[in-house]
Amino acid sequence: MTKKLLAAGSASLLLAVGCATTAKNVYELGQASSAVARLAYDPLASQSASRELQKAREALKRAEQALVAKKSREEVVHLATLAIRQAEIGTARLAEVRARQQIADGEAERNAVLLEAREREARLASSQAAASELAADVSQQAALLAERRAQSSRRQLEQSQRELAALQAKQTKRGMVLTLGDVLFDTDQAELKPGAAPTLDRLAQFLRDNDDARVLIEGYTDSRGTDDYNNDLSRRRAAAVAAALETRGISDNRVNVTGRGETLPVASNETPAGRQRNRRVEIVFSDLSGNFVNDVAQR
């Protein structure tokens, strides 16, 4: 009896060792288990490779059952290999899905970049169009303003010409010149007679109407008397006219005064009439901007 029990125990021990050896030697089963686990762990597997995952799990389960049922090693390896292949197919499917997703993402990003570029171009074109429109409007407004200023200048010039004509000023190479004869002064005197007031009033009004205009007042005498006397008398008469303008509100910085004595006669000093014409005060007008003709300063 004891011998029989020993024999049975030895047989059982040999069978357990054989099964353990069989399970340990089925390397493919471990590979299949790892491959299925990796596939199942992938978050995309349940959506994009669910079929392959299911088949891999079924093949792995059958391989494990064959091992437990002590089927042949070849059958266990075959089923484990099927599980590995299904897991590889699932993994390949996921790689394909990811590749397509990357392509789609790249295309979407490219389209977004192109759309942004087109929008920038559209904004730039709109800005350029707005800038061009603004520039055109500014140019038009500037042209209108220039035209209005030109019209105003023409009207002011025409008005000043009418006023100078009323003063009996004449156009010369030196500009507009108003001549005041010596009838406005007593003989050999520099005090203005009362009769000069109307002319001086109109002259002052002209200068008030034209704020930038200036005048050069030049005194002249005939040839009688010494040079020093004539120069002094001519300057005093010019200064008297300037003083009369100042009393009428015309600033002295708009008036220049000079005495030229007997120089530059306009008639012969051999006759009384000629000498009377030479005894005069000339008022030379600048333009409306305050500029004189060049040769005025040279005389």
- Which range of 9-18, 72-81, 122-131 scores highest in mean pLDDT? It is 72-81
Residue 281 bridge partners (DSSP): 180, 219
What is the C-alpha separation between 255 and 96, in angstroms, rounded? Answer: 98
What is the C-alpha separation between 49 and 41, in angstroms, rounded? Answer: 12
Residues 85 and 184 grouped into a single domain: no
Residues 73 and 196 grouped into a single domain: no
pLDDT of residue 2: 39
Residues 29 and 94 grouped into a single domain: yes
Alpha helices (runs of H) in the chain, residue ranges in sequence order: 2-25, 27-41, 45-48, 50-68, 73-166, 197-209, 227-247, 272-278
Residue 50 has pLDDT above 80, yes or no: yes
pLDDT of residue 152: 67
Q: Provide the number of structural domains found in the chain.
A: 2
What is the C-alpha separation between 36 and 38, in angstroms, rounded? Answer: 5
Residue 177 has pLDDT above 80, yes or no: yes
Residues 219 and 101 grouped into a single domain: no
What is the C-alpha separation between 85 and 90, in angstroms, rounded? Answer: 9
The angle that helices 73-166 and 197-209 make with each other, rounded to 10 degrees, is 180
What does the pLDDT average to over 45-68?
A: 91
Residue 1 has pLDDT above 60, yes or no: no
Q: Which domain holds residue 230?
A: 156-296
In a domain, 275, yes or no: yes
For 213, counting Cβ atoms within 10 Å of its Cβ (0-12 exposed, 13-18 middle, 19+ buried), the class is buried
What does the pLDDT average to over 258-278?
A: 93
Q: What angle do CA 289, 291, 292 make, to 5 degrees?
A: 140
Residues 164 and 280 grouped into a single domain: yes
What is the C-alpha separation between 35 and 52, in angstroms, rounded? Answer: 12
pLDDT tens-digit series, residues 194-251? 888 999 999 999 999 999 999 999 999 999 999 999 999 999 999 999 999 999 999 9
Residues 164 and 93 grouped into a single domain: no
In a domain, 115, yes or no: no
Residue 92 has pLDDT above 50, yes or no: yes
Q: Which of 46, 77, 105 is the last residue of a domain?
A: 105
CA distance readout (Å), 110 to 6, 60, 103, 200, 284: 80, 44, 10, 86, 79
Residues 30 and 94 grouped into a single domain: yes
Residue 170 bridge partners (DSSP): 177
Residues 92 and 167 grouped into a single domain: no
- Report which DSSP code applies to 295: G
Angular region, 175: left φ>0, alpha ψ -120 to 50, beta rest = left
In a domain, 64, yes or no: yes
Residues 168 and 246 grouped into a single domain: yes
Residues 287 and 176 grouped into a single domain: yes
The band of 296, judged by pLDDT with boundaries at 50, 70 and 90, is low
In a domain, 111, yes or no: no
User: Per residue in 92-129, is it b (16+ CB within 10 Å) or e — as a string?
Assistant: ebbeeeeeeeeeeeeeeeeeeeeeeeeeeeeeeeeeee
Q: Which of 81, 105, 129 is the last residue of a domain?
A: 105
Phi, psi of 216 (to 5 degrees): -115, 120
Q: Are 250 and 260 in contact (CB under 8 A)?
A: no
Q: Of all residues in the chain, what percent carry a pLDDT higher than 90?
A: 50
In a domain, 110, yes or no: no
In a domain, 287, yes or no: yes
Looking up residue 184, the CATH number of its domain turns out to be 3.30.1330.60
Q: What is the pTM for the complete model shown? A: 0.52
Q: Are 227 and 267 in contact (CB under 8 A)?
A: no
Residue 84 has pLDDT above 90, yes or no: yes
Residue 8 has pLDDT above 50, yes or no: no
Q: 257: which 2 tokens? A: 């005064």
Rg, the chain, Cα only = 60
User: Per residue in 4-37, is it b (16+ CB within 10 Å) or e — as a string?
Assistant: eeeeeeeeeeeeeeeeeeebeebebbeebbebbe
In a domain, 258, yes or no: yes
pLDDT of residue 11: 36
pLDDT tens-digit series, residues 133-169? 888 888 888 887 778 776 766 676 677 667 776 778 8
In a domain, 122, yes or no: no
Residues 183 and 277 grouped into a single domain: yes
What is the C-alpha separation between 71 and 68, in angstroms, rounded? Answer: 8
